[in-house]
Amino acid sequence: MDQRPELGIYIHIPFCIKKCIYCDFTSFPDKYDLQERYIQKILEEIENEKSVFENYKVTTIYIGGGTPSSIESKYIIRILDKIKKYLDIKNVEITIELNPGTVTKQKMLDYKKADINRISIGLQSTQNHLLKTIGRIHTYEDFIKTYELAKQVGFENINADLMIGLPNQTIQDIKSTLQEIMKLKLQHISVYSLIIEPDTELEELIENGKLTIPPDEEERKQYQYVKNILELEGYIHYEISNFSLPGKQSKHNTNCWEQKEYIGFGLAAHSYIDKKRFSNTNDMNEYLNNDYIKIKTLQENQTQEEQEKEYMLLGLRKLEGVQIQKFKQKFGKNPLYIFRNEIEELTDEGLLEVELDNIKLTRKGIDFANLVWEEFI
């Protein structure tokens, strides 16, 4: 049995056809002329880090963006072929993010042939007027076509991203979206709240009074409505924003919440290896024109105390919470003792509970999770 620690791989594809008004990710709608050079740079990065793979058991690969499906599929194949030179990826969860309107049947076939086994489709809403408001390039009908293509070529593990708290979005809109989505029997559904990020088009539109978003109380009602409906339909609410059918949890993200290590390739990609966090530059020129050492910056060299706090913060994203015995095995300490003040305060406020071996969010704590996480920063 392979005793090496688990490792995830993240690949960042920063190209997109149009930037959504809420997006603050490192992505560009006007740099497709650089994709050949960019992919070659990722291949060089993988080559230079190949020795890392010897010390770890790679269990997940996640290709995100940007819009990975907006570039030619031959580039995705090249990246995975490069990784296959050093790893056996037959039992690895391999996810690619897709946006409706950017995928052909040939691309889907190429992804399948390249051993990708999990698809994540950015839907956000089934209401076309809401999609237009937030700057999405697709319609709900485009999503259905993309979903049907994925099913046709044999994908059996499909996620859809939904959003709540959108401008002018109502509970009726959300009810309608869920009614449509339930017909598809998706294996996984992610539900994110719209966040106003600094220096985005959304922030400017809200500041100028051109758009308004629902108040916090309304958004919490929307979230609870989604949670109740999905759980009634048999989905497990396993992380604050994620629901899955039994056995279909996202392994890549779950490993991150369990503080397992990962390595990132590409522009602005992050890595977490041996208690150290690194990030690649988010400047395209710097990334393309420097060697792989110069593009990396050490963001954090964690002390044990910082690692323990982060383990709590990440673990409390999961609905099962932090397992006390696992914490003891990892750190040799009891979290109930070292975080007794934080746990006592949050328990008194009705945000946390200790149940057998688990420290976890209460129902109220799920609504105010940010207040819980702040205690462990």
The CATH number that applies at residue 71 is: 3.20.20.70
Q: Using DSSP, how many helices (H) and how many strands (E) does the chain show?
A: 17, 15
How much is the pLDDT for 66? 94
Taking only the tens place, the pLDDT of each residue in 178-214 is: 999 999 999 999 999 999 999 999 999 999 999 999 9
pLDDT in tens, 328-375: 999 999 999 999 999 999 999 999 999 999 999 999 999 999 999 999
> Which residues, other chains included, contact 362 with Cβ-Cβ below 8 Å and sequence gap of 6+?
350, 351, 352, 353
* Residue appearing with tokens 């960019």: 38
Per the structure, the count of domains in the chain is 2
**Considering 256, 291, 320, which residue would you say is the last residue of a domain?**
256
Picking from 112, 115, 134, 113, the residue whose alpha carbon sits closest to that of residue 123 is 134
Q: Does residue 263 form part of some domain? A: no
What's the CA gap between 238 and 241, in Å, rounded?
A: 8
With respect to residue 349, please indicate whether it lies within any of the assigned structural domains.
yes
Same domain, 133 and 242: yes
| Residue 186: inside a domain | yes
Task: Kindly report, residue by residue over 284-316, the tens digit of the pLDDT.
Answer: 999 999 987 889 999 999 999 999 999 999 999
d(CA 167, CA 198): 17
Whether 355 is covered by a domain: the verdict is yes
**CA-to-CA distance for 330 and 224, rounded, in angstroms?**
34
Asked if residue 227 and residue 106 are part of one domain, the reply reads yes
Verify that 354 and 233 share a domain, yes or no: no
243 lies in the same domain as 117: yes
> Do 224 and 346 fall into the same domain?
no
Q: How many angstroms separate the CA atoms of 181 and 176, rounded?
A: 9
Residue ending a domain, among 256, 279, 303, is 256
177/321 same-domain check: no
222 and 118 co-located in one domain: yes
Q: Is the pLDDT of residue 3 over 90?
A: no
Flag whether 112 is in a domain. yes
Of all residues in the chain, the percent with pLDDT exceeding 70 is 100
Determine the pLDDT at residue 291: 86
Identify whether residues 239 and 317 lie together within a single domain: no
Rounded to 5 degrees, what are φ and ψ at 147? -60, -45
The total of other beta-carbon atoms located within 10 Å of residue 198's CB is 6
- The Cα 147–Cα 275 span in angstroms is 39
The domain of 55 spans 6-256
Examine residue 47 and state whether it is found in any structural domain, yes or no: yes
213 is a domain residue: yes
Residues 205 and 132 in one domain: yes
Degrees (nearest 5) of the Cα angle 90, 92, 94? 110
CATH number of the domain at 348, please.
1.10.10.920
| 325/248 same-domain check | no
Give this prediction's pTM. 0.96
Tens digit of each residue's pLDDT (9 = 90 or more) over 30-40: 999 999 999 99
Task: Sort residue 339 into left (φ over 0), alpha (ψ -120 to 50) or beta.
Answer: alpha
Among candidate residues 256, 279, 301, the one where a domain is terminated: 256
| One domain, residues 40 and 185 | yes
Q: Is 278 inside a domain boundary? A: no
Give bridge partners of residue 12 from the DSSP assignment: 64
Q: Which amino acid is at 282?
A: N
193 and 323 inside one domain: no
